[in-house]
Structure 1
Amino acid sequence: MFKTQIMTLLCLCMSWALTAEAQEVQYSSQPLDACLQSATTALEEQGCIGLASQVCQSANDLGGTTVGMVACGSKEAEFWDKKLNEIYGSLVKKAEASDREMKEIGATVPQILPALRDMQRAWITYRDRTCDYEYSQWGGGTGGGPAIVACQSRMTALQYIYLKHSWPFDN
């Protein structure tokens, strides 16, 4: 009994140490920034997805491990989430201004802001269910963590790219 408890404690300590070390991975969004700046189309921007995570994994000793893949993937997911929140905020302002203008001139057109919010809420549910599905395919195995992080990063990046190109008056 005592031996089992010691082994459990040892495993937990090793897990915490690996997690702490993985959180300090060498990560840079520079490869993503450079790729996005050089991209001229949405399709080229899609080619940037996963780039920083791959560079991070190559640059770190734990990069090829489950812990390293999750740490690097999570950093890139944070990058895309920030970009998505920025573009969504920008579109909310544009939608508010457009809806206000249409109301002022008495136009009877559908409002953009409620449609944008409904779409984004539905997308969040879609992203979560899609990534749950991808995670479930790993049957609780160690690949599940990297799979769900990669899925959320990819889906968030694709939504950012979609929203970035969705306002018809900017193109």
Structure 2
Amino acid sequence: MMRCLFFCVLLLSGPAAAQDLSFQIAPTESCLWDSGNTGEKRACIGRAAAACMEQPGGSSTVAMGFCLDQELAYWDDMLNDAYGQLMQAMRAADEGLPSHLAIQANSLRDMQRAWIPYRDARCTHEASLWQGGTGASPAYLNCILHETGEQALYLGALYSGEG
């Protein structure tokens, strides 16, 4: 909801220059592939959005919002996939255990539910540093993108046994 609010404000606040931009997720995916299991995957968050913003016209507030939102959708899908797989694995691990030990799935759910308002509050604060200026919306989306990417990587690492 907050993501739409800030992005919708972007769309209504200026020309639709973003329609001329081409977004490709390849810079982010290539970085993830090249990083393997080294733990350097966090550096990949935002690569595709940055490449998108480097195009002519990519530095306008509307264009930045477009680029950031496109990559955010990628990380949001990754987060949801990782969460679903991890939840399924934790439910299986909890199955058959006494109730006082069968806590992994509930703990994961509670952690994720607590993370969402934390992410939103952190990013709202990040936007507030712009004191209502035009940089507030891109700052908010950039923060949401990075927080979502980091959470997706965290949950993915837990699922794969790397975390």
With structure 2 as the length reference, what TM-score do the two structures score? 0.84
- Which of 1 and 2 has higher RCO (CA within 8 Å, sep 6+)? 2
From 24, 29, 32, the equivalent of 1:28 is 24
CA RMSD of aligned residues (A): 2.1
The 8 Å contact of residues 42 and 165 in structure 1, kept in 2 or not, is answered as no
Identity %: 35
**Partner of 1:58 in structure 2?**
54
Determine whether 1:49 maps to 2:40.
Answer: no
| Superposed displacement of residue 28, structure 1 | 0.7
CA change 1:108–1:48 in 2 (3 A) is: same
Structure with higher Rg: it is 1
From 55, 71, 74, the equivalent of 1:76 is 71
- Whole-angstrom CA distance in 2 between matches of 1:101 and 1:24: 55
Question: After superposition, what is the alpha-carbon deviation per residue over 1:29-81, rounded to whole angstroms, capped at 9, x for unaligned?
Answer: 1111111112133631011011001111112x221111111110111111110
- 5+ residue gaps, structure 1, are 1-13
Pairing of 1:10-159 with structure 2 (within 5 A): 18-19=15-16, 21-23=17-19, 25-41=21-37, 43-59=39-55, 61-102=56-97, 106=98, 108-159=100-151
Question: After superposition, what is the alpha-carbon deviation per residue over 1:88-135, rounded to whole angstroms, capped at 9, x for unaligned?
Answer: 010111011111143xxx474141111000000000010000001001
CA change 1:42–1:153 in 2 (3 A) is: farther
**Partner of 1:10 in structure 2?**
none
Corresponding pairs, count: 152
**Partner of 1:161 in structure 2?**
153
The 8 Å contact of residues 42 and 161 in structure 1, kept in 2 or not, is answered as no
CA change 1:107–1:139 in 2 (3 A) is: closer
